[in-house]
Amino acid sequence: VQAQVQSGGGSVQAGGSLRLSCAASGYRYSSSYVMGWFRQVPGKEREGVALTGCGTTFYADSVKGRFTISLDSAKNTLYLQMNSLKPEDTAMYSCAADLRSTCRFYTYDTFSRWTPSKYAYWGQGTQVTVSS
């Protein structure tokens, strides 16, 4: 069974930093897979934060310049480094993976790569709270 276990959430003051981790089990990340981070707050739809795969990365406009997605293939772990955190970043963060070994939608379909339903595997979620 495939699973992704998250850690690294917590509370931080505005301007602070956190690093989220997503350790995969049951499979190993591949350059042909797409992995990403999404976040959700009550009453709103889940939104994409950062994506990586197929030789490139994408970031939501709201986090560009502040967040960095990376992969440590040796540890089979995905990371999200979050700097200069803002209260608006407060959300439940989840890692996600598409293990279908396809880059088509990710590379050529701007809308689809940000659609949560395209990702079949999800971490349990971790809360990030940023206080002003």
> DSSP characters for 75-96?
TTEEEEEE-S--GGG-EEEEEE
Local confidence band at 70 (pLDDT 50, 70, 90 cut-offs): very high
- Is there a contact between 79 and 92 (Cβ–Cβ < 8 Å)? no
SS3 at position 5: strand
Q: What is the pLDDT of residue 3?
A: 80
Averaged over 17-37, what is the pLDDT? Answer: 89
From residue 27, how far is each of 3, 17, 47, 91 by CA, in Å? 8, 29, 25, 27
